[in-house]
Amino acid sequence: MSRELDACQLIERSINKKYRKELWTPFMQAVRRYELIRPGDRIAVCISGGKDSMLMAKLLQELRRHTEVPFELAFLVMDPGYNAENRRKIEENAALLRIPITVFETNVFSVANAASHNPCYLCARMRRGHLYSLAQSMGCNKIALGHHFNDVIETTVMAMFYGAQLQAMLPKLHSDNFEGMELIRPLYCIREDDIIAWARYNGLEFIRCACRFTENAANDTGASKRAEIKALIKSLKKTNPDIEMSIFNSIHAVCLDTMPAWKTGGELHSFLEAYDRP
């Protein structure tokens, strides 16, 4: 007679069984394709309390449990100024999922919300700086963030439509300000809809952005640029169901021979540089 599984074990089983194709397989594809984890790594798993970072923590925890590749994990939760309810929700979910989190407090929300221009950009930069700093002090050489497949393609389209450049989101990159540190994105190939389905199947509720700016402002998410792009892609999928994968594949197959100009290493280059060469 099989023993009865507890809540955490059932959630882990859903990752490995019911949602294996949607979650575990693309997670492992990203880890292998982009060489995100190497022997001896100590990775700071950065948990915001949302669905993406919580799933990322479980996936990395499961990989650590079953792989023969030696690496270590530290689960970090930066409290930028959450209200008591959101802080409690994060701690309760971490306990339910058996994720041994380390919580540290900052004043990111209060500083960013006082900014007169682009508080969300400032908030993101400050968060990342704090995470890099603490991770490095704990002996980590990498931080893991929960950006997923849809973040990748939406960022690509946003850069073209509103930033006037063809620019993607890398699956990993070296830090410019913290020597020896890298950022990795293990959810790079996982679709947001599948993350939502997994959370609903297990009856899990996670916090959203939770910043005081969006709590207090008359914030219309439909007016945000990312929401616009998300709606546009959803509309285009009605006539082209593969459009998301087409965008994703396009950033892996850039043909510089057809580009009139491009940037590399911060320098702008033109096709004219080699146009008349033999």
Q: How far apart are CA 242 and CA 189, in angstroms?
A: 15
Domain ranges within the chain, ordered by starting residue: 7-220
In degrees, rounded to 5, the angle at the alpha carbon of residue 76 between the alpha carbons of residues 30 and 49 is 80
Average confidence (pLDDT) over 12-26: 97
The b-or-e profile of 164-202 (16+ CB within 10 A means b, else e) is eeeebbebbeebeebeebbbbbbbbbbbbebbeebbeeb
To the nearest 10°, the Cα dihedral for 21, 61, 142, 153? 20
Q: How far apart are CA 150 and CA 193, in angstroms?
A: 9
Q: Which residue has the higher pLDDT, 142 or 221?
A: 142
Look at domain 7-220 and name its CATH class. alpha beta
| Residues 181 and 173 sit within 8 Å (Cβ to Cβ) | no
According to the model, what pLDDT value does residue 1 have?
40
Q: How far apart are CA 161 and CA 235, in angstroms?
A: 16
Q: How far apart are CA 185 and CA 34, in angstroms?
A: 10
pLDDT band at 278 (very low <50, low <70, confident <90, very high): confident
36: number of Cβ within 10 Å: 21
Helices of type H across the chain: 7-16, 25-33, 51-66, 84-96, 108-113, 119-137, 149-162, 192-201, 212-216, 225-236, 243-250
Average pLDDT, the chain: 91
Q: Which residue has the higher pLDDT, 119 or 239?
A: 239
Query: Which of 208, 207, 171 has its CA nearest to residue 190?
Result: 171
According to the model, what pLDDT value does residue 223 have?
43
- Angle, helices 243-250 vs 225-236, to 10°: value is 120
- Angle, helices 84-96 vs 7-16, to 10°: value is 70
Q: Which residue has the higher pLDDT, 109 or 265?
A: 265
Q: Which residue is associated with the tokens 């790594």?
A: 41
> pLDDT of 158-168, one tens digit each?
999 999 999 99
* Full-model pTM: 0.91
Q: Is the pLDDT of residue 217 over 50?
A: no
> pLDDT of 103-149, one tens digit each?
998 888 878 777 767 777 788 888 888 899 999 999 999 999 999 99
Q: Collect contacts of 174-181 with beta carbons under 8 A, ≥24 apart.
A: 175/132, 177/129, 177/132, 178/132, 178/133, 178/136, 180/136, 180/141, 181/132, 181/135, 181/136, 181/140, 181/141, 181/142, 181/143
> pLDDT of 163-188, one tens digit each?
999 999 999 999 999 999 999 999 99
> pLDDT of 60-106, one tens digit each?
999 999 999 999 999 999 988 888 999 999 999 999 999 999 999 88
pLDDT band at 211 (very low <50, low <70, confident <90, very high): low
Q: Is the pLDDT of residue 29 over 90?
A: yes
> pLDDT of 191-202, one tens digit each?
999 999 999 999
According to the model, what pLDDT value does residue 225 have?
86
According to the model, what pLDDT value does residue 196 have?
98
